[in-house]
Amino acid sequence: MSGTRFKRVAFVASAADDAVAARAELVARYGDAPLSGADVVVALGGDGMMLQTLHDVMGLSLPIYGMNRGSVGFLMNEYRADELIERLHAAERTVIHPLTMRARDRDGRVHVAKAINEVQLWRQTFQAAKLRIEVDGTVRLPELACDGVLVATPTGSTAYNLSAHGPLLPLASPLLALTPISPFRPRRWRGALLPDRAAVAIDVLEYEKRPVAAVADNTEFRDVRRVEIALDRKTSLTMLHDPGHGLDERILAEQFGW
């Protein structure tokens, strides 16, 4: 990258006190450009702030450099106010693509949303959800009784997918994780790894008796009948990480307990 690439920096922060204070310090040092005129966005907070920022800049072609002023910070770099521009120039780039979710509700309305981490289906009541899963038009699981199911990208494989005992996926892997949430029948089914070109469709069986909600990251639609999920290759998002601290390294370290 040329030394002039990141002249105009936009700073965004979560509502946490540490993040707000960090933004004030950085703006005083480096100035603050509006998103419409920025070369790069610096996000201050935790992983939730990074996820929100990725959604906010979708379509703007702006790279995002996150610094941890939150709790988890798996997607973030270490916070340091000094030499920010130099760190931006030296950063490694990770390009990711979101999922597109199309959810049809019981009234026939279609809702569309993007998910950077995962698309989830959840039971809305005390009764287990009953779901039928298709992959590329072929029914692979006629009936899954469960609390829910999710489809995660490699980026999202470190989030709720991991808590649901789904696999960790290296960022460069051309895969999606299909992971059940508290499966009851078939009891031993633990999910599947799918090629990222796969089109997944999930039908809600007995949807009037056993209502289900569909969630794309933090966008929720209730009382759905059918949800279709596919990777959106036309939309690209770029995250920047300090050398040696990229997501591939963090995912590898996570698998060895670090």
Residue with tokens 């289900």: 212
pLDDT at 246: 61
pLDDT at 75: 86
Q: Is the dihedral of CA 62, 68, 72, 77 positive or negative?
A: positive
Rounded mean pLDDT, 233-246:
88
**Which amino acids are annotated as binding site, given as ranges?**
47-48, 117-118, 147, 158-163
pLDDT above 50 for 133: yes
The bridge status of strand 224-231 relative to strand 212-216 is unpaired
Q: For the chain, what's the residue count?
A: 258
How far apart CA 188 and CA 238 sit, in angstroms, is 37
**Which amino acids are annotated as binding site for NAD(+), given as ranges?**
47-48, 117-118, 147, 158-163
Rounded mean pLDDT, 8-36:
95
Q: What is the pLDDT of residues 77-110, one digit of tens each?
A: 999 999 999 999 999 998 999 999 999 999 999 9
3 vs 209, residue with greater confidence: 209
- The two three-digit tokens of residue 15, written as one number: 């509502």
How far apart CA 196 and CA 95 sit, in angstroms, is 15
Rounded mean pLDDT, 142-159:
95
- The two three-digit tokens of residue 221, written as one number: 């639609």
Q: Give the lowest-confidence range in 1-10, 133-142, 165-174, 229-238.
A: 1-10
Q: What is the pLDDT of residues 153-190, one digit of tens each?
A: 999 998 899 999 999 998 888 999 999 999 999 988 99
CATH of domain 9-96+236-255: 3.40.50.10330
Listed by start position, the domains of the chain span: 9-96+236-255, 99-231
pLDDT above 90 for 59: no
Which residues make beta-bridge pairs with 146?
129
pLDDT at 250: 66
The rounded percent of the chain whose pLDDT value lies above 90 is 82
Catalytic residue numbers?
A: 47
pLDDT above 70 for 253: no
In this prediction, residue 258 has a pLDDT band, given cuts at 50, 70 and 90, of low
Which contacts qualify for 184-191: CB closer than 8 Å, 24 or more apart? 184/128, 184/145, 184/146, 185/143, 185/144, 185/145, 186/141, 186/144, 189/141, 189/144, 190/165, 191/166, 191/167
CATH class of 99-231: mainly beta
Rounded mean pLDDT, 116-136:
97
172 vs 136, residue with greater confidence: 136
pTM of the model: 0.87
Q: Is the dihedral of CA 63, 150, 201, 225 positive or negative?
A: negative
Q: Taking all residues of the chain, what is their mean pLDDT, rounded to a whole number?
A: 92
Which residues make beta-bridge pairs with 152?
118, 177
pLDDT at 26: 96
